[in-house]
C-alpha cells in the first residue's frame, strides 16, 4: 500500500485539506471513501467547466504496515503517539532507525509526509480530517478539536458532535495538530463513519468528506448535487459531551457485554462489561459510545451526555 491515496490541487493560497484513512489498519472505510471522492472530483472536473477547487486536497494512508496486515496496529497504537515528547527525539538525525518499533517508523514517515505537503503548497491554513470506524454498530459521529473552525465544520456534517473527547485522548493526531506544530494555522477533527465492515460506513465517509470541503469553500459546487447527500440521524443528540472513559490496562481481560451500539442509552449501575476483577457497572446514566468488541484497544467504552444548548 502507498502512503498517498491521491491529490488534487486548485488555486493557490487556499486551505490544505489532508484526509487520512487507516490510522488504524483494520479500518479501511476511510481509504476506500477517499479513493471514491477523488474519482468523483476528477469526473466533475472533466464534465463541468464551472466546477472548481480552491486549495489542495490530499488523501493519505495512516498506518501502512498495519493496513497491509489488517490489524489496528502492530507494536503500539499509532493514534496514541502524537506528542512532541515522542516525535522530536526520533526526528533527530542521529537516532538510529533500527531502534524504532514499526509504529514509531510510521509516526516518523507520516509526520514527514504531512510536512512535505505543507512545504509544497503554500496554504492559508490546514485542515486535518482523520477517518475512523468503530467495532460497534450504531451510527457515525465527529470529534472536533476545541477550535471554532473545527467545530463549525463538524456542525455541518449532519452527525452527532462529541465534545471533550479530543482532549481526553492523549497522543491523537488531531490533538497534536491542534497546537499548530507545523507553523500553519491548523484545525482538525476525527470522523467516525460507522462499523468497521459496514458498506454504509464508506458512503457516510464519502458524504462527510465532501461536506467538509464544501464548508471549507474548497469546492465551489457539491459534486453530488441533488443526488446522494449524507443521511442524517436526527433522532440522535447533535451535541454530546464525554463524561466518562473506561481505560483498559494491560492484562485486564476486558470483555464488553454483547449487544451495545453507539448512542444506546445506559443506566447508572448497569453491568456493561467484565474484567478479571469482576463486573464493570456504569458510573453514569447517559449514552454509550465506542463499546470495544475487539482485542486491540485501550478504551473499553465511553459515556456521553447530551449537551444543553
Residues of the shown chain interacting with Zn ion in the complex, contacts defined by CB under 5 A:
24, 27, 132
- Which CB atom, from 24 or from 147, has the smaller least distance to Zn ion? 24
> Which residue lies nearest Zn ion, judged by its C-beta?
132
Tell me the DSSP string of 229-255. Answer: -----TTS-SEEEEEEEEE--TT---E
Least separation in angstroms between CB 115 and Zn ion: 23
Least separation in angstroms between CB 25 and Zn ion: 9
Least separation in angstroms between CB 172 and Zn ion: 9
The set of residues, in sequence order, having a beta carbon less than 8 Å from that of 64 and lying 6+ positions away, is 1, 2, 3, 22, 106, 109
Strand order across the beta sheet in which 255-256 lies = 255-256, 271-275, 278-281
- Which CB atom, from 194 or from 237, has the smaller least distance to Zn ion? 194
- Alpha helices by DSSP H, listed for the chain, are 29-47, 64-69, 84-91, 102-120, 148-154, 165-168, 173-177, 199-215
- Which CB atom, from 53 or from 304, has the smaller least distance to Zn ion? 304
Least separation in angstroms between CB 132 and Zn ion: 3
CA–centroid distance for 271 within its chain: 29
Least separation in angstroms between CB 24 and Zn ion: 4
Q: Which residues of 166-198 are buried (b: 16+ CB within 10 A; e: fewer)?
A: beebebbbbbbbbeebbeeebbbbbbbbbbbeb
User: d(Cα 280, Cα 266) in Å, to the nearest integer?
Assistant: 13
Tell me the DSSP string of 132-154. Answer: EEESS-S--EEEE-SSHHHHHHH
- Which CB atom, from 25 or from 237, has the smaller least distance to Zn ion? 25
Least separation in angstroms between CB 45 and Zn ion: 31
**DSSP state letter for 78:** G
**DSSP state letter for 300:** E
- Which CB atom, from 24 or from 80, has the smaller least distance to Zn ion? 24
Closest-CA residue to 133 (of 66, 76, 200): 200
Least separation in angstroms between CB 80 and Zn ion: 11
- Which CB atom, from 15 or from 166, has the smaller least distance to Zn ion? 166
- Which CB atom, from 80 or from 132, has the smaller least distance to Zn ion? 132
For residue 123, the SS3 value is coil
The sign of the dihedral angle between the CA atoms of 169, 170, 172, 177 is: positive
- Which CB atom, from 173 or from 266, has the smaller least distance to Zn ion? 173
Least separation in angstroms between CB 287 and Zn ion: 19
Compute φ and ψ for 276, nearest 5 degrees: -60, -20
Q: Is the Cβ–Cβ distance between 91 and 181 less than 8 Å?
A: no
Amino acid at each position: 500500500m502507498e502512503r498517498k491515496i491521491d491529490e488534487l490541487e486548485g488555486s493557490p493560497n487556499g486551505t490544505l485539506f489532508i484526509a487520512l484513512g487507516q490510522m488504524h489498519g483494520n479500518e479501511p472505510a476511510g481509504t476506500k471513501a477517499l479513493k471514491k471522492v477523488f474519482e468523483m472530483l476528477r469526473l466533475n472536473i472533466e464534465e463541468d467547466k464551472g466546477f472548481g477547487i480552491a486549495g489542495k486536497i490530499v488523501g493519505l494512508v495512516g498506518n501502512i504496515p498495519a493496513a497491509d496486515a489488517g490489524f489496528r496496529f502492530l507494536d503500539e497504537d499509532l493514534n496514541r503517539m502524537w506528542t512532541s515528547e515522542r516525535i522530536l527525539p526520533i526526528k533527530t538525525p542521529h537516532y538510529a532507525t533500527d531502534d524504532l518499533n514499526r509504529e514509531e517508523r510510521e509516526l516518523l514517515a507520516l509526520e514527514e509526509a504531512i510536512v512535505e505537503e505543507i512545504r509544497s503548497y503554500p496554504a492559508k491554513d490546514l485542515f486535518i480530517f482523520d477517518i475512523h470506524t468503530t467495532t460497534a454498530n450504531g451510527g457515525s459521529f465527529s470529534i472536533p478539536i476545541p477550535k471554532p473552525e473545527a467545530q463549525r465544520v463538524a456542525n455541518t456534517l449532519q452527525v452527532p458532535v462529541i465534545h471533550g473527547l479530543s482532549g481526553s485522548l492523549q497522543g491523537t493526531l488531531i490533538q497534536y495538530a491542534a497546537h499548530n506544530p507545523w507553523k500553519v494555522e491548523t484545525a482538525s477533527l476525527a470522523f467516525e463513519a460507522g462499523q468497521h465492515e459496514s458498506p454504509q460506513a464508506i458512503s457516510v465517509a464519502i458524504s462527510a468528506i465532501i461536506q467538509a470541503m464544501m464548508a471549507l469553500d474548497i469546492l465551489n459546487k457539491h459534486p453530488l448535487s441533488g443526488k446522494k447527500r449524507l443521511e442524517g440521524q436526527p433522532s440522535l443528540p447533535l451535541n454530546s459531551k464525554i463524561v466518562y472513559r473506561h481505560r483498559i490496562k494491560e492484562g485486564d481481560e476486558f470483555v464488553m457485554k454483547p449487544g451495545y451500539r453507539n448512542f444506546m442509552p445506559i443506566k447508572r449501575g448497569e453491568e456493561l462489561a467484565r474484567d478479571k476483577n469482576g463486573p464493570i457497572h456504569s458510573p453514569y446514566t447517559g449514552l454509550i459510545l465506542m463499546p470495544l468488541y475487539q482485542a486491540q484497544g485501550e478504551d473499553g467504552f465511553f459515556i456521553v451526555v447530551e449537551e444543553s444548548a
